[in-house]
Amino acid sequence: MIKGKKMRISNLIMIGGLLLVPSCVSTPKKVQPPKKPENNPLIIPFNNNFDFKNIKPGHIAEGTDYVIAQAEFIKNEIIQIVDGARTYENTLVRIDDIYAVIESVWSPAYLMGSVHTSEEIRNEGLEASKSIQNYMTELSLNEDLYNAVVAYAANEEAKGLKDFSKKFLDDLLLDYKRIGFTLPKDKREKVKTILDTLTDLGLEFDKNIRSAQDTLFLDELDLAGLPDNYKKERLQNNGKYAIDMTYPSYVPFMDQAESDKARKALRFKFNNRAIEKNIEVLNDILRNRMKLVNLLGYSSYAEYRTEDRMAKNPKNVWDFENDLKQQLREKAENDVAEMLSIKSVRLGRETKTIHPWEAGFYENQVKLKKYNLDREEVRQYFEFNNVTSGLLTIYQRLFNVRFEKVQNPSVWHEDVQMFSIYDNISGDLIGNFYLDMFPRANKYSHAAAFSVIMGKMTENGYQKPVTALVCNFPKPTDFQPSLLTHENVETYFHEFGHLIHGVLTTSPLISYAGTSVARDFVEAPSQMLENWVWQKESLSLFAKHYETGQIIPEELMEKMIAAKNINSGTKALQQVFYGIYDFTLNDGFDPDGNKSTTDLIKELKNKITFYPYQEGTHQQASFGHLNGYGAAYYGYKWSEVYAQDMFSVFEANGILNPETGLKYRKIILEKGGTVDPYELVKEFLGREPNSEAFLRSMGI
């Protein structure tokens, strides 16, 4: 998952179309250059590093005020240019400069709102994000700035633009239509009000999920099947065991605990996180999305969101999801039959249902019974530091770069590490990244790459990109080091793919830097890089026993690879369910109609997946993607088609082939959003994309 703010008007509000030229221009107010704050850890010289360790309450708010004032100054400079004197550099590039100025505090502030240990600073980071998003909404609705773009678009230089410069102008014009510039001014004001409301609601939705703390207290008997170290880490003074809602606690329990009753109780709690607040917040988000598209003339929020993406329209998404659902059905039926066979033997009677709190457990049982594959045995070979070292080795070899750990960096928590990336050929510094990999209270609870600084060409040279990778892998304890599941390792490679996409960018514009690509393509480069955790050649570089140092045995690797597609059908159907649920909410669903968001999740879960809905749960309350990925969750599977097609080139040429890796870096990673992603994929493949590799990857 990528957490960042794609810096273009459409990327803020996710919209696109044609424009009408308004008849008048108001006189902009004079704004003096703002005075730079002193000793603020977020206001730094060009290509320096943020002093995260010394952020204090007030710094984020001060930095936010400063960059908004800077942005206002640049905006007014643009507006005051005489129309006949407009150029690409003094109008369009300066608009991109506004985004860069805003991003310089927005990204680190948003990150601090998600990871800092101080509640005061976290809240200040979230408030800053809210203020900046509201400012960006105002900026996107500024009629004078719009007139400046339209005036430039009419001149001869604009008509001769090529490549990413032309694309940037076209995208801006498209964005302005989608923000409502074909509407009367009173309706544009309503659009602004709705967008501000959606910003506030989205931040509230995410905050409620982060703040949702719950724990299930169990007796030792309920933990049968779990490793001793897992139990030791959770034993309380009163003899009870505390199972919280973090992934290192939740996932192993659901996969290994023998008690159906305990798993059912834990899943009930897990899928009712944030229920007290977020059901209504989600309804409010849906209501305001409907108001927005009604004003803008779209039939649904889904139509509005897909227009400027690879999918182009809702029909293409529905066709994709429904076709995939049918293709997966037979494989999913076989997956469930394998689990039912084991469950029937275990219970001593025939059974016809796998409940959702049983899915992980019986999938694990299939691995044990059919392949003799023990997840605990596998974990012994994936110690966090070994995996990190191997991952860095693979990425360095593929992309012709060198990673160097930064000593004594200024970071927000003692667990955080910092690295620099250098180009192997030139030796030049490309950028930096942070790793914040272990759970703690009130930290962002999933796995995602957060932009910290985005790439951009400036008069001082190229702005070096910086990304932070935030995960929640098991933390080392007194009992054992951090041992990752194979799924954790896959997540690590995936999220690092987002990180490398962000840092290796060479886009001249921040608007297209790194992961600022079509939202239904953004996962593809990361999904492709998951494949390296399934290949013997790459596994042998880092999978070694945490005690003996022995490389993972060939026999165990073969079992893992053979078991790769266990439940690939049911898992993919689950993703189709998430995508269809999200898309349905945004394509005709009425939160004030006869059907609630819970009614819908129940109906679709029973219809699409083979696991019946668990009564009394409200998964949508903690389904964070419904905010940031609204009407866009389909993109995970959509982009996977392209991911597997791209990986087929590495399969043919060698998974550690440096020429193929460098070609991928140059064509896919460096270009970011400067070129349509379909054209980039086609260039890398040397042919039209297809879905053959995607279906083959799931054993279909």
Q: Which residues are catalytic?
A: 495
Residue type, 207: K
455 burial type by CB count under 10 A (0-12 exposed, 13-18 middle, 19+ buried) = buried
* Contact yes or no for 15/302 (Cβ under 8 A): no
Rounded to the nearest angstrom, the gap between the alpha carbon of residue 349 and the centroid of all alpha carbons in its chain is 43
Which residues make beta-bridge pairs with 432? 420, 466
Q: How far is 411 from 50, CA to CA, in rounded Å? A: 9
First to last CA, the chain: 26
Q: What number of other Cβ atoms are within 10 A of residue 235's Cβ? A: 13
Nearest to 198 by CA among 630, 512, 535: 630
Q: Give me the sign of the Cα torsion angle 245, 251, 255, 257.
A: negative
Q: What number of other Cβ atoms are within 10 A of residue 134's Cβ? A: 17
> Length of the chain in residues, anyone?
700
Q: How far is 482 from 492, CA to CA, in rounded Å? A: 13
Give 409's Cβ-side CA count (13 Å radius). 22
Could you say which DSSP state residue 552 is in?
P
Give 349's Cβ-side CA count (13 Å radius). 2
Q: How far is 231 from 546, CA to CA, in rounded Å? A: 20
Residues of the chain by 3-state class (helix, strand, coil), percent to 5: 55, 10, 35
Count of H helices and E strands in the chain?
A: 28, 10
Written as one string, the DSSP assignment of 212-267 is ---EEEE-GGGGTTS-HHHHHHHB-TTS-EEEESSHHHHHHHHHH---HHHHHHHH
